[in-house]
A and B are shown apart, each in its own frame.
Chain A
Amino acid sequence: EAQVTQNPRYLITVTGKKLTVTCSQNMNHEYMSWYRQDPGLGLRQIYYSMNVEVTDKGDVPEGYKVSRKEKRNFPLILESPSPNQTSLYFCASSSWGNQPQHFGDGTRLSIL
């Protein structure tokens, strides 16, 4: 089954404790992206990657890191999480040619 898999689905943690949200897709997509969703703001792009070893900042990259060492994986790293990073996070992927993005099921992060 074609899918984008994120883990964990839920996480409650404390300020300053490094965490990683994993994202994996099995569709051989070149493009992958991370978004955060906040009430009244819709989805805002954090980082994106057009291919292996190619990443770039989106609209709200501060406080986040990503890597793309393999085509299928695109982890999101919060080195020192803060309460303003409490949000719902989505990973998405797509092939080239203006294809719509396929989304993971979301990760609810709470930073206390």
Chain B
Amino acid sequence: AQTVTQSQPEMSVQEAETVTLSCTYDTSENNYYLFWYKQPPSRQMILVIRQEAYKQQNATENRFSVNFQKAAKSFSLKISDSQLGDTAMYFCAFMKHDNNDMRFGAGTRLTVKP
């Protein structure tokens, strides 16, 4: 079974600075998908970014980018120019290519300080 590990339960960053959230996963699959979801205090689950394992290029969405290291099974999220609205719980998730089941990490609580 696939497992997803987020080793940083809590992190903080000053507004306008850059922060990186870590995620590692364990799988024997070659084709899969990785996601980062954001959960603000409103508790909605919001998709931040998605990466296909077969793509070598790292995904980017505005201030959010990933560092995908397939051999190391690592999928970190970088948030640039952090904003107060980025304060949230962030979940890393894994999906196999042949079904829609997702496996989530335990989450990292990020606080952006003014």
Contacts and interface: CB of A to CB of B under 8 A. Distances in A.
Given A31-B100, A45-B101, A94-B100, A100 B106 contact: no
Contacts of A44: 104
B50 A100 contact: yes
Indicate the size class of the contact surface on chain A. Answer: 20 to 34
Interface residues of B, number: 23
Most central of B44, B100, B103, B104 by chain A CB within 10 Å: B100
Given A42-B107, A43-B91, A105 B101 contact: no
Contacts of B43: 88, 105-106
Interface string B15-39: 0000000000000000001010000
B35 A100 contact: yes
B45 A103 contact: yes
A2 interface: no
B interface, over-half SS? loop
Interface in B84-109: 91, 95, 97, 99-107
Nearest to A105: B44
A29 to B, nearest CB: 9
Given A40-B9, A106-B43, A101 B106 contact: no
9 contacts: A31-B100, A33-B100, A40-B9, A42-B106, A50-B99, A96-B100, A98-B95, A98-B100, A99-B100
Given A42-B107, A99-B100, 16 more contacts: A31-B100, A33-B100, A40-B9, A41-B106, A42-B106, A43-B91, A43-B102, A44-B104, A48-B100, A48-B101, A58-B101, A88-B43, A96-B100, A98-B100, A103-B45, A106-B44
Interface of A: 31, 33, 35, 40-45, 48, 50, 58, 88, 90, 92, 94, 96, 98-101, 103, 105-106
Interface of B: 4, 6, 9, 33, 35, 42-45, 47, 50, 91, 95, 97, 99-107
